[in-house]
């Protein structure tokens, strides 16, 4: 790579993953020099979900060693960092503030600019870390905190087309996994267990919400799983675990497939069969093997963010800042940047 023009430190702490990245840019070229994440999963398993206050404290402890490891691996002296990219919204406010304070400390020490990064935009735009996709595209963001369709006109201009009214798809996996007693976060575990199950053996209802195009609902699904489990003996649950997982996963995946079709036909007013605009799927649930299989089968031009950039990671944060140099706030104005917990209303 030619002489770098920016060496960006990416910081992601919006939920329960502490993640840091050093990304180098030279003109259009971008190279991830180091990307390291520290997952709090093993601690949060105990509660079956994220405890915001604990997550914030864990970030404080995880950041110093992670920073040293990441800078060493990148072979970068802290003084040579030219830019900070930090997730400022949306997320849990305590965890967000922890990452933002690291960013501001660096900005202050090196007198460098900082980019405030929208975590949701970064999830979708992570596609460009590995593939070149033309704008506009239809974005489907499926994560633990959000499930939404976006019309993506550029890396910083996205219009929301539809959202979940209640739980996110990842939340449905995690809450279902808690009921099934498979561990946290449950998405990957349910995905793995489903591989030896039959999705048709134990089926779960799909919430169509036909009168509200583009709107999704996943909270009824976990209730139907709970009701189903209450009628089963512990032995039976154990024996049927792969089928239960496969049936439950299928309901989530088919909901996303049906809602993608509905968005294309009823919101974008386009012919489903002729629709060839790229569809980009990002966020933790985009790792799901059945979702990849079903969407690839049903849609012509569908692209999935690479698994290592799907779940929360600072690579996508640094990368988004690299794509949007004009959005850098110079020092010292960047010290005024604030964190915001919510950006998408579930209504
Ligand atoms: O994007 P992400 O890391 O965090 C948020 O921004 O929320 O997504 C985490 C979510 C969790 O709910 C996790 O269970 C889910 O992604 N997940 C999966 C898979 N891998 C992670 N869900 C289904 N199948 C997977 N293979
Ligand atoms: Zn995320």
Q: What is the mean pLDDT of residues 92-105?
A: 96
Q: What are the pLDDT digits (tens) for 197-213?
A: 999 999 999 998 988 99
Which three-class secondary structure state does DSSP give residue 103? helix
Which three-class secondary structure state does DSSP give residue 182? coil
User: 266 CA distance to ligand 1 centroid (A)?
Assistant: 28
Count other Cβ atoms within 10 Å, centred on residue 133.
Answer: 17
Q: Which residue among 41, 139, 143, 341 is best mutated to probe the pocket of ligand 1, counting the most ligand atoms within 8 A of its Cβ?
A: 143
Ligand whose nearest atom lies closest to the CA of 283 = 1
Please count the CA atoms within 13 angstroms of the CA of 198 that sit on its side-chain side.
Answer: 5
Q: What are the pLDDT digits (tens) for 243-299?
A: 999 999 999 999 999 999 999 999 999 999 999 999 999 999 999 999 999 999 999
How deeply is 221 buried, as exposed, middle or buried, from its count of CB atoms within 10 A (0-12, 13-18, 19+)?
buried
Q: Residue 249 CA: which ligand 1 atom is closest?
A: 23
Confidence (pTM)? 0.95
Radius of gyration of the chain (CA): 20
User: 283 CA distance to ligand 1 centroid (A)?
Assistant: 7
Looking at every residue in the chain, the average pLDDT score rounds to: 95
Q: What are the pLDDT digits (tens) for 103-162?
A: 999 999 999 999 999 999 999 999 999 999 999 999 999 999 999 999 999 999 999 999
User: 230 CA distance to ligand 2 centroid (A)?
Assistant: 32
Q: Looking at residue 48, what is its pLDDT?
A: 65
What confidence category does residue 41 fall into, taking pLDDT thresholds of 50, 70 and 90?
Answer: confident
Which 3-state string (H, E, C) describes 124-166? Answer: HHHHHHCCCCCCCEEEEEECCCCEEEEEEEECCEEEEEEEECC
User: 317 CA distance to ligand 2 centroid (A)?
Assistant: 10
Q: What is the mean pLDDT of residues 320-338?
A: 97
Q: Looking at residue 34, what is its pLDDT?
A: 98
Q: Which residues are near ligand 1 (CB < 6 Å)?
A: 15, 143-145, 170, 173-174, 185-188, 191, 283-285, 287-288, 311-312
Quote the crossing angle between the two packed helices 186-194 and 289-298, to the nearest 10°.
70
For residue 180, is pLDDT > 80?
yes
For residue 8, is pLDDT > 80?
yes
Q: Are 316 and 123 in contact (CB under 8 A)?
A: yes
What confidence category does residue 345 fall into, taking pLDDT thresholds of 50, 70 and 90?
Answer: low
Q: Looking at residue 50, what is its pLDDT?
A: 79
Q: Are 172 and 221 in contact (CB under 8 A)?
A: yes
User: 240 CA distance to ligand 2 centroid (A)?
Assistant: 31
Q: Residue 287 CA: which ligand 1 atom is closest?
A: 26
Q: Looking at residue 346, what is its pLDDT?
A: 59
Q: How many angstroms separate the CA atoms of 104 and 107, rounded?
A: 5
Minimal-distance CA residue to ligand 1 atom 23: 187
What confidence category does residue 47 fall into, taking pLDDT thresholds of 50, 70 and 90?
Answer: confident
Q: Are 125 and 316 in contact (CB under 8 A)?
A: yes
Q: How many angstroms separate the CA atoms of 267 and 261, rounded?
A: 10
Q: Are 196 and 210 in contact (CB under 8 A)?
A: no
User: 337 CA distance to ligand 2 centroid (A)?
Assistant: 20
């Amino acid at each position: 790579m030619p002489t770098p023009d920016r060496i960006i430190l990416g910081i992601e702490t919006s939920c329960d993953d502490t993640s840091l990245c050093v990304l180098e840019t030279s003109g259009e070229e971008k190279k991830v020099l180091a990307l390291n994440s520290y997952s709090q999963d093993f601690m949060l398993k105990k509660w079956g979900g994220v405890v915001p206050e604990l997550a914030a404290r864990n970030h404080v402890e995880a950041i110093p060693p992670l920073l040293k490891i990441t800078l060493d691996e990148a072979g970068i002296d802290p003084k040579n960092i030219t830019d900070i990219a930090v997730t400022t919204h949306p997320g849990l406010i305590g965890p967000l503030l922890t990452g933002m304070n690291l960013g501001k400390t660096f900005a202050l020490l090196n007198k460098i600019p900082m980019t405030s990064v929208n975590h949701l935009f970064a999830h979708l735009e992570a596609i460009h870390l590995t593939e070149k996709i033309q704008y506009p595209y239809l974005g489907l963001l499926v994560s633990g905190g959000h499930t939404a369709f976006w019309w993506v006109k550029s890396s910083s201009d996205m219009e929301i087309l539809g959202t979940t009214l209640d739980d996110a798809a990842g939340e449905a996996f995690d809450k279902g996994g808690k009921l099934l007693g498979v561990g946290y976060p449950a998405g990957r575990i349910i995905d793995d267990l489903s591989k030896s199950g039959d999705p048709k053996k134990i089926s779960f209802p799909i919430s169509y919400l036909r009168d509200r195009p583009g709107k999704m609902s996943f909270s009824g699904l976990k209730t139907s799983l709970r009701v189903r489990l209450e009628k089963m003996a512990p032995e039976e649950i154990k024996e049927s675990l792969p089928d239960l997982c496969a049936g439950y996963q299928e309901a989530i995946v088919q909901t996303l497939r049906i809602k993608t079709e509905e968005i294309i036909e009823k919101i974008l007013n386009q012919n489903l069969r002729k629709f060839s605009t790229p569809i980009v799927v990002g966020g933790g649930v985009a790792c799901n093997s059945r979702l990849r299989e079903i969407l690839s089968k049903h849609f012509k031009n569908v692209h999935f963010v690479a698994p290592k950039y799907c779940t929360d990671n600072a690579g996508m944060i640094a990368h988004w800042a690299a794509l949007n140099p004009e959005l850098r706030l110079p020092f010292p104005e960047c010290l005024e940047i604030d964190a915001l917990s919510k950006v998408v209303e579930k209504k």
